[in-house]
Amino acid sequence: MLRYSPLAFVVALGVILAVTGADAARTTTYSGTVAAIDPPGGLLILNELGPWRVAQGQPVVTRRSVAITPDTKFNTFIRVNVPGAFAGDFLEVALDANDVTPGDFVTVECVVERGRLVAVRVTVAELD
């Protein structure tokens, strides 16, 4: 019968948690208005307002170029009233890159690959 020491268990648990935390730290989230999107060219331009900086009395807008790939997921959430479910619950709806247009407010989850931002997921906010 094998016996494991408590120290070995703690070390193994620490390694697992460190690896899991490292994966989560690699994703960065940006929110803002789509300035331009070119699905065939693989590019989304995002105008991000914040962190709250002001120059000459105007908020500073940070323009971010984000690569989109065939693996990038696009989605939105809509409110639904379905019998037997929570009233006003949200339902995730998959979108296509062509459904995203300039002026849409989005949140983009990105990773950095070879020095550039690459979108993993683009979530469109419904402002109606």
Buried b / exposed e over 76-112, threshold 16 CB at 10 Å, is: beeeeeeeeeeeeeeeeeeeebebbeeebebebebee
Render pLDDT for 25-75 as a digit per residue (tens, 0 to 9).
489 999 999 999 999 999 999 999 877 788 888 888 999 999 999 999 999
pLDDT score, position 38? 97
Question: Per-domain residue ranges for the chain?
Answer: 28-124
Whether the predicted pLDDT of 12 surpasses 50: no
The whole-model pTM stands at 0.73
CB atoms within 10 A of CB 27: 12
Residue 29 · residue 95 · CB < 8 Å = no
Residues 6+ apart with CB under 8 A from 5: none
- Tell me the average pLDDT across 76-102: 87
Report residue 78's pLDDT band, with 50, 70 and 90 as the boundaries.
confident
Whether the predicted pLDDT of 106 surpasses 80: yes
Residues 6+ apart with CB under 8 A from 68: 37, 39, 42, 43, 44, 97, 118, 119, 122
Q: Does domain 28-124 have CATH number 2.60.120.380?
A: no
Percentage of residues in the chain with pLDDT exceeding 70? Answer: 79
